[in-house]
């Protein structure tokens, strides 16, 4: 499975379909997209997993991590997260953090990420802040 660099235009459709299907496509864009790094996996030419990373000094934030419904549970997201952890560690990132949907806590905890603080909501969806020192 090959993780590759993608453009914002390549990640937006999957972000929209998986994360916010009931919102307009523009809802899946973040203001920092042009400054971020976007990666993903293709299967038969189709983008099936995407993730975006944004830097602030020696911290990096994961945003808009999504795997197509039919490919979830097959190791694709795990491969992308492992790639990002190694890439960020090599780049000198000290803390990798994100706001995780409550439904995905177990997935992230398997990679050593810990919950910070209380549950909160964005657009009616429950989240927790999670982080890991690299």
13-56 pLDDT, tens per residue? 999 999 999 999 889 999 999 999 999 999 999 999 999 999 99
- Comparing C-alpha atoms, which of 83, 64, 84, 77 is closest to residue 106? 77
The C-alpha angle 108, 109, 115, rounded to 5 degrees, equals: 95
Complete edge-to-edge strand list for the sheet that includes strand 59-67: 3-6, 37-43, 46-56, 59-67, 95-101, 125-133, 114-122
Domains with residue ranges and CATH for the chain: 3-95 (3.40.630.30)
pTM recorded for the entire structure: 0.92
Contact yes or no for 121/96 (Cβ under 8 A): no
Quote the percentage of the chain above a pLDDT of 90.
93
The reported pLDDT for the residue numbered 1 is 85
Contact yes or no for 41/4 (Cβ under 8 A): yes
What span, in angstroms and rounded, lies between the C-alpha atoms of 107 and 55?
23
């Amino acid at each position: 499975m090959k993780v590759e660099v993608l453009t914002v235009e390549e990640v937006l459709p999957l972000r929209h379909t998986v994360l916010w299907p009931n919102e307009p496509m523009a809802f899946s864009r973040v203001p920092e997209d042009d400054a971020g790094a976007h990666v993903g996996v293709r299967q038969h030419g189709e983008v099936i997993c995407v993730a975006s990373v944004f830097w602030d000094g020696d911290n990096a934030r994961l945003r808009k991590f999504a795997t197509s419904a039919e490919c979830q549970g097959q190791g694709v997201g795990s491969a992308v997260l492992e790639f990002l952890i190694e890439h960020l560690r090599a780049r000198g990132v000290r803390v990798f953090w994100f706001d995780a949907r409550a439904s995905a806590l177990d997935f992230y905890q398997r990679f050593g990420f810990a919950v910070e603080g209380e549950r909160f909501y964005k657009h009616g969806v429950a989240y927790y802040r999670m982080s890991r020192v690299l």
